[in-house]
Amino acid sequence: TIDPDRLWRSIMETAAIGGTPKGGINRLALTDRDRQVRDWLKSACEDLGCTVTVDEVGNMFAVRPGRLDVPPIAVGSHLDTQPTGGKFDGILGVLAGLELLRTLDEAGYETNAPLMLVNWTNEEGSRFSPAMLGSGVHAGVFDRAYADSRTDRQGVTFGEALDEIGYRGPAKVGSTAFSAMFELHIEQGPILEAEEKAIGVVTGVQGMRWYEIALTGREAHTGSTPMSQRRDALVGAARIIGAVEAIARTHPPGVGTVGLVEVGPNSRNVIPGHVFLTVDFRHPDDAALDVMEKALFATVEEAGRASGLEHALRQVWNSPAVAFDPALVDAVRRVADGLGLSWREIVSGAGHDAAYVARIAPTTMIFVPCAGGHSHNEAEATSYEECRVGAQVLLAAVLDHDRR
Amino acid sequence: TIDPDRLWRSIMETAAIGGTPKGGINRLALTDRDRQVRDWLKSACEDLGCTVTVDEVGNMFAVRPGRLDVPPIAVGSHLDTQPTGGKFDGILGVLAGLELLRTLDEAGYETNAPLMLVNWTNEEGSRFSPAMLGSGVHAGVFDRAYADSRTDRQGVTFGEALDEIGYRGPAKVGSTAFSAMFELHIEQGPILEAEEKAIGVVTGVQGMRWYEIALTGREAHTGSTPMSQRRDALVGAARIIGAVEAIARTHPPGVGTVGLVEVGPNSRNVIPGHVFLTVDFRHPDDAALDVMEKALFATVEEAGRASGLEHALRQVWNSPAVAFDPALVDAVRRVADGLGLSWREIVSGAGHDAAYVARIAPTTMIFVPCAGGHSHNEAEATSYEECRVGAQVLLAAVLDHDRR
Ligand SMILES: NC(=O)NCCC(=O)O
Ligand SMILES: NC(=O)NCCC(=O)O
């Protein structure tokens, strides 16, 4: 049985690293705050006698030996956050994994397989696009050079930032193999809470695609430039923002969002000459995403023509829909039943490291509810009890798997 | 006769202070670059034996004595620029004024009235809203405390920035009186070039109003938040941006622009919870601006309702339409005729310090063309010849006025 007090304390203790006045966390990937929480995790794992290795893209692996010389069973998630993120997204998965190691240590329990706790680098994709970059490199979806070359909006590369915080390790990417991975995570959506289920048995992850759009018009004076002679990049952007919403609504249960907009020169009395914006489309059905993508391309063409803009549109990320390993999904279902918990099957709306890890090892996820479904929000809230239940299911599922 | 080479050299010399790779200038008000160009102007004026005084909001006044003990005749404009501004906007008016002083000095010409060259603070309104702030304080439209309290988007106040660059002077605002002001400026619009006129005889300035809108929705995950449960502040903003354009087009010759947008938290996979945007409406008829304003208020209500947003909308600036002094307008017309130049009457689409100064002294303006009407753009271009003609008309108009 895990110790829910100890788990909660570790969540609150690390939440102070980048803690915001509104009770959230601002701990973007590869910032000094990310380094601090990594240092914290490293020393917590070493205190348990685990060996911590770091790979070339900063993924951290802490191993607790087992009885047999076989590949470990992995648990984990990520410790980076959104700029105005919550205290649980990713963090619960890592700290519940730590709690699992601590519980086994205290009980003197020896597993058959070694256990491995993983902290994946840059899962959020907020500072460096795309999301799930560390797990993606591990799974061979991206190569190391690609990761190193990603730049944040200030022009700092992933590689520079990683070196800066001292978390480029010697382990070759992908060299730290494991036989299976279980990732505990908050749902980040409203379904479990609405249906009063304690556990989400996650069967897969929907498809997701990211796009970058650059619009170029002509900077001009807002007062002396007639409406008919304008090439206003922001007017074009507004049309695209509206269309992204409309495209998503006409392809249920798809979703579409423009999350980031940069306007140049961004001065009250200058007609915007440049706009950079991003689009995030998701759908459980990859074919529907193809249709949504076509509609986006047509929209950008049309908006460019209507406002006299040059435009560049590119897909920068495509993570197809993922189905998790049936045997592991079964194990989670069995464990939830065994503990007498209410559960439902669910497809994740959010991307997770498990989605990429599933390409190279049997993988699944366990969801717990979060209040109102609010996530990527400082008000994100999962209760003490929900955290306890999630960690307990994680422990039980891992031991169930280890026994087979 | 002014020396066009010397004028052009001074334009190019000061253009290096904040010069951009694309040939423009980035010299926001009260930055260190603004200090540098102020220092340059001060020493250039002192080299001519002029007395330079600075008032409490940083307006600079350089006086060349005349034969009589009467209030001076003023010329001038501003040396601050947009973040991606051109080499002529405001600058031509100040440096042509300097050229006028240099020409009279060289010729040993003694005017009846003293002449005064003015550099007004924060005309652009880009760093500190509203525009024409220094001349507005001078004219009693704003008080000094209001100016001091204006903040840039980083939270620095006008007062702090002014103290920082050391340009808060001892002269009480409004104490440096003058009997008339002539402001030479580039048109910043396409009319003179299209009609092949050398000079715009400016009869007034259109009305202009600025608004600030803050929209608050709810930050949420882009993947796991159903379309029906979103409160996306950017979707609301897009609707407003589109409506501002539509409102302007239905009130010709009015113009409407959203120039500045800030999105929070501005992350690709977070539904925007906050958007701040600005609106700039202009029309030669203040009654039409009332109608446009009403339509804006209705739009913001509706956009807020449609996306479930809290919204705050306020008018932050209202500069009514201005008619310049008929006698001075006549003087410019007479001088243009006398020099055999083509000219037309024109109402300024852009705001100018002259618009506020007109409240306290007879005032007018002289326009010269700029290529394509492009302004508030690094590519802004007025030719050597156009600068020469403008400065010559300025000199002739001032001397004409001085003789009466
Ligand atoms: N779990 C999570 O929020 N991941 C970030 C990647 C995404 O889904 O956008
Ligand atoms: N002349 C000029 O560009 N002034 C800035 C104020 C405005 O018109 O927006």
Closest CA to B292 of B245, B342, B338, B341: B245
Q: How far is CA B404 from CA A59, A337, B40, B229, B269, in A?
A: 82, 101, 33, 72, 68
| Residue A83 touches partner B, C-beta closer than 8 Å | yes
Between vectors from CA A381 to CA A378 and to CA A382, what angle results, nearest 5°?
A: 150
Enumerate residues 6+ apart whose C-beta is below 8 A from A142.
A133, A136
Long-range CB contact pairs, B156-162, < 8 A, 24+? B158/B30, B158/B57, B158/B122, B158/B128, B158/B133, B161/B29, B161/B30, B161/B31, B161/B127, B161/B128, B162/B30, B162/B57, B162/B58, B162/B121
Nearest-CB residue to A249 (from B84, B227, B245): B227
pLDDT more than 90, % of chain B: 100
Instruction: Kindly compute the dihedral angle of the four CA atoms of residues A120, A121, A124, A130, in this order, to the nearest 10 degrees.
Output: -110
Encode pLDDT of B174-216 as tens digits: 999 999 999 999 999 999 999 999 999 999 999 999 999 999 9
Cα–Cα distance measured from residue B66 to residue B88, given in angstroms and rounded to the nearest whole number: 29
For the cut 90, the answer to whether the pLDDT of residue B404 exceeds it is no
Identify from A81, A191, A222 which residue to disrupt to test chain B contact, counting B C-beta atoms within 10 A and taking the largest count.
Answer: A222
Cα–Cα distance measured from residue A4 to residue A95, given in angstroms and rounded to the nearest whole number: 11
pLDDT-derived band at B23 (thresholds 50, 70, 90) equals very high
Do the beta carbons of residue A313 and residue A258 sit within 8 Å? Answer: no
Encode pLDDT of B323-352 as tens digits: 999 999 999 999 999 999 999 999 999 999
- pLDDT for the residue numbered A404: 87
Residues of chain A scoring pLDDT < 50: none
| Residue A313 touches partner B, C-beta closer than 8 Å | no
Q: How far is CA A385 from CA A85, A281, B273, in A?
A: 21, 33, 29
Closest CA to B133 of B361, B324, B286, B317: B317
Instruction: Kindly compute the dihedral angle of the four CA atoms of residues A163, A166, A167, A169, in this order, to the nearest 10 degrees.
Output: 90
Cα–Cα distance measured from residue B78 to residue B353, given in angstroms and rounded to the nearest whole number: 8
- Provide the chain A residues 5-64 that lie in CB contact (below 8 A) with chain B: none
| Residue A349 touches partner B, C-beta closer than 8 Å | yes
Q: Is A378 helix (H, G, I), strand (E, B) or coil?
A: coil
B185 is in an annotated binding site: yes
Phi and psi based region of residue B329 (left: phi greater than 0; alpha: psi -120 to 50; beta: remaining)? alpha
Q: Is A25 helix (H, G, I), strand (E, B) or coil?
A: strand
Average confidence score pLDDT of chain B: 98
Yes or no, beta carbons of A267 and B82 under 8 Å apart: yes
HSE, CB side, 13 Å, CA atoms: give it for residue B362: 14
Cα–Cα distance measured from residue B59 to residue B79, given in angstroms and rounded to the nearest whole number: 11
Residue type (1 letter), A49 = G
Do the beta carbons of residue A342 and residue A198 sit within 8 Å? Answer: yes
Residue type (1 letter), B4 = P
Yes or no, beta carbons of A263 and B264 under 8 Å apart: no
Nearest-CB residue to A267 (from B83, B188, B264): B83
For the cut 90, the answer to whether the pLDDT of residue B354 exceeds it is yes
Cα–Cα distance measured from residue B230 to residue B66, given in angstroms and rounded to the nearest whole number: 69
- pLDDT for the residue numbered A101: 98
- pLDDT for the residue numbered B177: 93
Task: Report the sign of the C-alpha dihedral through residues A267, A272, A273, A278, in that order.
Answer: positive
- DSSP classification of residue A85: B
Yes or no, beta carbons of A229 and B351 under 8 Å apart: no
| Interior/surface letters B263-278, b for 16+ CB within 10 angstroms, e for the rest | bbbbbbbbbbbbbbbb
Nearest-CB residue to A229 (from B83, B190, B245): B190
pTM above 0.75, yes or no: yes
In A187-286, beta strands by DSSP E: 199-205, 207-216, 220-221, 255-257, 261-264, 270-271, 274-283
Identify from B257, B302, B309, B347 which residue to disrupt to test chain A contact, counting A C-beta atoms within 10 A and taking the largest count.
Answer: B257
- pLDDT for the residue numbered A254: 98
Give bridge partners of residue B55 from the DSSP assignment. Answer: B171
Largest CA distance in chain A: 79
pLDDT more than 70, % of chain B: 100
Atom nearest to B375 CA in ligand 2: 3
B376 is in an annotated binding site: yes
Whole-angstrom Cα Rg for chain A = 22
For the cut 90, the answer to whether the pLDDT of residue B14 exceeds it is yes
Pocket of ligand 2 (CB under 6 A): A 221, 223, 269; B 89, 123-125, 131, 188, 350-352
Encode pLDDT of B61-111 as tens digits: 999 999 999 999 999 999 999 999 999 999 999 999 999 999 999 999 999
**Among chain A residues, CA nearest to B224:** A349
| Residue B350 touches partner A, C-beta closer than 8 Å | yes
Find the mean pLDDT for residues B280-294: 98
- pLDDT for the residue numbered B266: 98
Which two three-digit tokens encode residue A93? 């998965």
Residue type (1 letter), A114 = P
Do the beta carbons of residue B88 and residue B382 sit within 8 Å? Answer: yes
For the cut 90, the answer to whether the pLDDT of residue B305 exceeds it is yes
Q: Assign 3-class secondary structure to chain B.
A: CCCHHHHHHHHHHHHCCCECCCCCECCCCCCHHHHHHHHHHHHHHHHCCCEEEEECCCCEEEEECCCCCCCCEEEEECCCCCCCECCCCCHHHHHHHHHHHHHHHHHCCCCCCCEEEEECCCCCCCCCCCCCHHHHHHCCCCCHHHHHHCECCCCCEHHHHHHHHCCCCCECCCCCCCCEEEEEEECCCCHHHHCCCCEEEEEEECEEEEEEEEEECCCEECCCCCHHHCCCHHHHHHHHHHHHHHHHHCCCCCEEECCCEEEECCCCCEECCEEEEEEEEEECCHHHHHHHHHHHHHHHHHHHHHHCCEEEEEEEEEECCEECCHHHHHHHHHHHHHCCCCEEEEEECCCCHHHHHCCCCCEEEEEECCHHHCCCCCCCCCCHHHHHHHHHHHHHHHHHHHHC
